[in-house]
Amino acid sequence: MRIEIPREVERFGPVQIHDVQKVWELDAGLKLKELEPKEKERRVITRISYESLQDIQEQMAIVVPIKDEKIKLLEGVLAGIPHECLVILVSNSKREPVDRYKIEMDALNHMSKFMKKDIFIAHQKDPLLAQACKDAGYEYILDDKGEVRSGKAEGMILSTILAYLCGKKYIGFIDSDNYFPGAVYEYVQEYSAALYSAKSDYSMVRIAWHSKPKIVESSLFFAKRGRASEHTNKVLNMLMSSYTGYGTEIIKTGNAGEHAMSMDLALNIDYSSGYSIEPYHYINVLERFGGVIDSPSADVMKQGIQFFQIESRNPHLHEVKGDEHVKSMSREAMEVIYRSPLCPDHLKQEILIDLYNRGLLKEGEEMPETVRYYPALTKVNMLKFKQALAKASFAEFLKADLSKYKHKNGKKKLARETVKSKDHLPDPHEQLEIK
Ligand code: GDP
Ligand code: CO
């Protein structure tokens, strides 16, 4: 892959957010050629050889969350994931009246006769997983009935623990409703390219898809950004600039469902529920490590956190889930920004006005509390989680070497609990000191 280096970087304490990077060649050849001297002159472009991408993929789990999607779509998605990645399908599909999960398992069995992949499937409501959460001291994602809650985020959290137990160093997410296997393949290559280039062990890459095809007046139109994204990005950027004192448009992937990160980062951030999980990555990293609030871990602060945003070449086409879906997703995204202890009052006002204008809240209505927050996975006792899954159908995949693992029941509380009042915050208009 040949990729341009980021033109801009926005800093927020030790957090670096890199500008969108453009891909110039999807495949840039084998490693041997890396020695060509003329390559060195073109420093604005990085060439990442096929072997280097593969090295990363051998250490990467790709999680595919699925809820009642068409099996044909899933089949395409699985076909697109590069061979070296371990695939974890986490399903919350209906079991009644039609057992859609069983259909998924059958389809997977059938497909695996033809495709050679390391792959397993787990159901989010499997009592074994709920038991594992209990045993491991991570009951936060369980509901009153003791089952894992529904929601994409909850599925992602479970699969992050599973990926850790499989011994993976990186974790990437690919939605199961993507129409183009070629796009899926490209996203994983881009995850690998960015994580290969990362200088910090705490890194995340997010896809800014190039375009989204739509039919407008009976011809194809390639829209640049989704409807919800524009608003989320704008507000996230306003939040950044209220601390740095400079206007910015750096964040272009506020709602990116397609993203990957190092396991070190995945274990060290808090999560929020449902579809708010993606914008909350930015918020939580800024809260925990931005240096404004909280007492973050020394190693993360020293190495810094790097966000990469890569513009994919394939158009992005997924299932149309309707207006209501986009609305609730957008409202949840706004809610996590609004609730952040970092969010200054003037931005809260702007968020409310924006929601009123778009009809997502009634005029004068307060921000409803719909989003839940989950603490970082350092709270999970991984040994106990693994023990509880000894009889799971996928137990053979959980082969991480835990011989040196020590559970430190992190005393760290959620960032929002540590801030008792706004008084703990510096004046948001004061420029943040860059360490
Ligand atoms: P959008 O693409 O962000 O508009 O949202 P989608 O509704 O397409 O959801 C993204 C992905 O998450 C899809 O692959 C869904 O099948 C999957 N998904 C949605 N809800 C859940 C859930 O409760 N649990 C799991 N495991 N996956 C879910
Ligand atoms: Co979708």
**What residue segments make up the domains of the chain, in order of their start?**
2-393
Report the chain's mean pLDDT, rounded to a whole number.
89
C-beta pairs of 21-29 under 8 Å, 24+ apart in sequence = 21/194, 21/308, 21/309, 21/310, 21/311, 22/311, 23/190, 23/310, 23/311, 23/312, 23/313, 25/1, 26/1, 26/186, 26/189, 26/313, 27/1, 28/1, 28/2
69 lines ligand 1 (CB under 6 A): yes
pLDDT at 422: 38
Q: Sorting pLDDT into bands at 50, 70 and 90, what band is 210?
A: confident
155 lines ligand 1 (CB under 6 A): yes
Class of residue 158 by CB neighbours under 10 A (exposed 0-12, middle 13-18, buried 19+): buried
Least confident segment among 192-206, 244-258, 373-387, 415-429: 415-429
Q: Sorting pLDDT into bands at 50, 70 and 90, what band is 10?
A: very high
Measured CA to CA, the distance from residue 253 to residue 207 in angstroms comes to: 7
Which stretches of 199-306 are DSSP H helices? 227-244, 263-267, 277-289, 298-303
Q: Is 70 exceeded by the pLDDT of residue 428?
A: no
Cis peptide before 97 (omega within 30 of 0): yes
Which stretches of 198-226 are DSSP H helices? none
Residue 218: how many other CB atoms lie within 10 Å = 5
- Of the residues 62, 64, 66, which should be mutated to test ligand 1's pocket, given the most ligand atoms within 8 Å of the CB? 66
Q: Is 50 exceeded by the pLDDT of residue 185?
A: yes
3-state secondary structure of 126: coil
125 lines ligand 1 (CB under 6 A): no
Strand partners, 398: none
Q: Is 50 exceeded by the pLDDT of residue 180?
A: yes
239-253 mean pLDDT: 92
Q: What's the Rg (C-alpha) of the chain?
A: 21
pLDDT at 427: 40
Measured CA to CA, the distance from residue 289 to residue 168 in angstroms comes to: 24
Cα(367) to centroid(ligand 2), Å = 26
pLDDT at 43: 77
Cα(333) to centroid(ligand 1), Å = 15
Whose C-alpha lies nearest to ligand 1, atom 28? 152
229 lines ligand 1 (CB under 6 A): no
121-127 mean pLDDT: 97
Residue with tokens 């956190």: 305
333 lines ligand 1 (CB under 6 A): no
Measured CA to CA, the distance from residue 287 to residue 376 in angstroms comes to: 13
pLDDT at 432: 39
> For 326, phi and psi rounded to 5 degrees?
-65, -40
67 lines ligand 1 (CB under 6 A): yes
Q: Are strands 259-262 and 202-208 parallel, antiparallel or unpaired?
A: antiparallel
Measured CA to CA, the distance from residue 243 to residue 247 in angstroms comes to: 10
CATH 3.10.310.30 corresponds to the domain 2-393: no
Q: Is 70 exceeded by the pLDDT of residue 311?
A: yes
Measured CA to CA, the distance from residue 153 to residue 374 in angstroms comes to: 10
pTM (two decimals): 0.92
Q: Sorting pLDDT into bands at 50, 70 and 90, what band is 130?
A: very high
